[in-house]
């Protein structure tokens, strides 16, 4: 079924892009899509969902920021020193990036 859908999409794209009548149809489709986009009802939905997304981002932004900071602190502290389970001294591990890796070619 997917092969048939891909085939039909390919034939349709070839018609729209490859023939003069297809290009005329493509222009009609562009005009229709622009008219639909500019419709006040569609723009009302767009503004409604933009407001919902903005409110969600404002509400969740602080929680996401705190989680990102905690994760970064945990990654930095665990990437430089590993503490073994026995009583021996900790093993120091090199960080993944250092200042020279951040600016290659500038020494």
Domain ranges, ordered by start, for the chain: 32-76
Please check whether residue 15 is in contact with residue 22, taking contact to mean a CB–CB distance below 8 angstroms: yes
Q: Which of 9, 42, 89 is nearest to 17 (CA)?
A: 9
Q: Which of 45, 48, 25 is nearest to 36 (CA)?
A: 45
Tell me how long the chain is.
107
pLDDT tens for the chain, 107 residues long, are 899 999 999 999 999 889 999 999 999 999 999 999 999 999 999 999 999 999 888 888 878 888 888 888 877 765 555 555 555 555 555 555 555 555 555 55
pTM over 0.75: no
């Amino acid at each position: 079924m997917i092969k048939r859908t891909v085939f039909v999409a390919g034939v349709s794209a070839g018609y729209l892009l490859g023939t003069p009548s297809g290009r005329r149809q493509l222009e009609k489709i562009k005009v229709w899509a622009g008219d639909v986009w500019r419709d006040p009802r569609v723009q009302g939905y767009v503004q409604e969902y933009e407001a919902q997304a903005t409110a969600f981002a404002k509400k969740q932004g602080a929680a996401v920021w705190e989680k990102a900071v905690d994760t970064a602190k945990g990654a930095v502290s665990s990437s430089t020193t590993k503490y073994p389970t026995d009583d021996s001294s900790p093993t120091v591990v090199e960080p993944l990036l250092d200042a020279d890796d951040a600016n290659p070619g500038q020494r």
